Amino acid sequence: DSGVTQTPKHLITATGQRVTLRCSPRSGDLSVYWYQQSLDQGLQFLIQYYNGEERAKGNILERFSAQQFPDLHSELNLSSLELGDSALYFCASSDYRGGDYGYTFGSGTRLTVV
Amino acid sequence: GNSVTQMEGPVTLSEEAFLTINCTYTATGYPSLFWYVQYPGEGLQLLLKATKADDKGSNKGFEATYRKETTSFHLEKGSVQVSDSAVYFCALSIKGNKLVFGAGTILRVKS
């Protein structure tokens, strides 16, 4: 157990629907990062939050949004889902030192859009 | 921009063979460098890291040396085991910002 908890582990939904992925960071970590892993695009950075505020944005679609709550857990919302959104979505966390010291990853949520 | 290039896989080796997975980077700035490993059905785990030139990261028999002159961070292991079969990702970070990953290299070790 890495200390980063992601739920659910698997999600199957239809095109056009909306889903919410949840992440609880490792105890004491203030930063949360979301990544999308697909076969054709590899690991793509989506967004980072630090202590409740958006810190950096990557290739995140407008249909996707995220937030980090006061208890530091984060949610990634994916709407108007398309077949191409099927992927593994990883959450990672780090302490105040950020990426220079590495992240701790959760085990991911596998999203299948049918 | 910042990017990481890894050798394409899959790499298939027999047990106890020597492993090298090449990684080179392009960075606007002075990056920290990492290797992550992903076992089947799991998330990524930090394998080793190096934060300045000529540093050597090591863990579980794996090593990588930060070479600024060749912008490289090649992963090596002297004797691989079947349990090392996984996907290996090289990555960089600059000033604590987001990790940028390479495409990943699949390693398969046969007994």
Say what the pLDDT of residue B94 is.
Answer: 85
Say what the pLDDT of residue A93 is.
Answer: 94
Asked if B93 and A45 come within 8 Å (Cβ–Cβ), the reply is no
Say what the pLDDT of residue B41 is.
Answer: 83
Tens-digit pLDDT profile for residues A50-64: 999 999 999 899 999
| pLDDT confidence bin for A37, thresholds 50/70/90 | very high
Say what the pLDDT of residue B6 is.
Answer: 95
A41 CB near a chain B CB, below 8 Å? no
For CA atoms A89, A106, B75, A102, the dihedral sign is positive
- B24 contacts B5 by C-beta, under 8 angstroms: yes
Q: What is the pLDDT along chain B (111 residues), one digit of tens a residue?
A: 899 999 888 999 999 999 999 999 999 889 999 999 999 888 899 999 999 999 999 999 999 999 999 999 999 999 999 999 999 999 999 877 788 999 999 999 999
Say what the pLDDT of residue A80 is.
Answer: 98
Contact pairs from chain A to chain B, CB under 8 Å: 59
Query: In chain A, which residue's Cα lies nearest the Cα of B33?
Result: A100
A100 CB near a chain B CB, below 8 Å? yes
Largest CA distance in chain A: 40
Say what the pLDDT of residue A42 is.
Answer: 85
Share above pLDDT 70 across residues of chain A, in percent, rounded to a whole number: 96
Say what the pLDDT of residue A99 is.
Answer: 65
Lowest mean pLDDT across A65-74, A78-87, B26-35, B62-71? B26-35
